[in-house]
Amino acid sequence: MAHSRLLLSSGLQMHVVQLPAVGEARGTVLCLHGFPDTWFGWRHQMPAFSQRGWHVVVPDLRGYGETEVPKESPAQYQMKELCEDLLGLLEALLLRRVVVLGHDWGGSLAWTFALQFPQRVTAVGAVCTPFFPNNPAKNPWHSMREKPGRFDYQMWFQNAEAEAELSEDPEYTVKCIIRGTGEKEASTFNEAFASPTERGGLLKGLPPKELCPRSEILSEEELRYYAAQFRRSGFFGGLSWYRNVERNWQWMRSTAGQKIQQAAFILTAGRDPTLRASMVDSLKMKDWVPRLRHVHIEDAGHWVLQEAPKEATTLICEWLDHLPSESATMARL
């Protein structure tokens, strides 16, 4: 894996990890991570994509890992800025068009980028995150504040106290959040996201550090890597992604009513307590994304890429295998 730091046209210094295509090149796959994560969340899938002829590009997104963390304002993390980062990344790597895959917030960014810049995206896919069509008549931030429900954690993330809580001990934070669902403590940790505002903290009520077991989906070395990355970056950047719901809605109003016309994919997980598989139907995704392929892993949760890496990788690769190859002249600037 080749690591590099690029100065983007957006002005951001971005850390990027790449793998070259093996054999006949089919195009480029751009993989986007979520919260709290880094490029490392795609580590299990990257070699398989490469072996199937895909050039793999996985950045630390704005505010994460070894990428720059702007701290002037949460507004620096709205979707408009994040899409400009992706445009700058493609420009820096001389890429005309890519397949975009995203997990969690990376999935939301992938859908948005495909809708806003369709000429740069040949196909788009997400893990866990459905496509939320923009309703220009309904401010989602107002709706969420009135009835946060299982998204209450996003209310807590608006507070400065959330940053202080998560930053106090990054290793403990990662141990509490990045977890599998087949472990005996799974329900305890899942419930942490249900009512942090009432409890006064996301980690309040969870086992203390000395009694908090490392999840089986992370080795000790992997846990230390994650902890080091969040000691470096802190949590201001990642939390700021949650602080732009209204700004993002306003920017996306220009695309209201538009459909995602590219070949598309979503992998849902049966044990994801927040981004539930049923949302694909309740949001009428197939109406908005006509070429959608929906696959599902029942016995895994939100961190399905790490909890069920072989099964998830196989399902994504099967979809990638059916995409048309891009010629070198078409895929590059």
Report the 3 state secondary structure along 184-228.
Answer: CCHHHHHHCCCCHHHHCCCCCCCCCHHHCCCCCCCCHHHHHHHHH
Q: Is 294 a catalytic residue?
A: no
| Spatial strand order in the sheet of 27-32 | 2-7, 13-19, 54-59, 27-32, 98-103, 121-127, 263-269, 292-297
Which residues does residue 55 pair with via DSSP β-bridges, in sequence order?
A: 28
The answer to whether 272 is a known catalytic residue is no
Inter-CA distances, 221 with 191, 212, 214, 224, 226, Å: 27, 17, 11, 5, 9
> How far apart are alpha carbons 333 and 87 in whole angstroms?
12
Max CA separation in the chain (angstroms): 56
What backbone phi and psi angles, to 5 degrees, belong to 291? -100, 30
Catalytic residue among 37, 85, 242, 272: 242
242 is catalytic: yes
* 233: exposed, middle or buried (Cβ count in 10 Å: 0-12, 13-18, 19+): buried
Q: Could you identify the residue written with the tokens 């997990």?
A: 103
Is the CB of residue 180 less than 8 Å from the CB of residue 186? yes
Place of tokens 């195009």: 27
On whether the CB atoms of residues 73 and 21 are closer than 8 A, the answer is no
Report the alpha-carbon distance of residue 125 to residue 93 in Å, rounded.
Answer: 21
The catalytically annotated residue of 60, 104, 152, 272 is 104
Which two structure tokens, joined as six digits, stand for 47? 């070699």
Least Cα distance to 98 among 60, 127, 125, 80 occurs for 125
Q: Which residues are part of the catalytic machinery?
A: 104, 242, 302
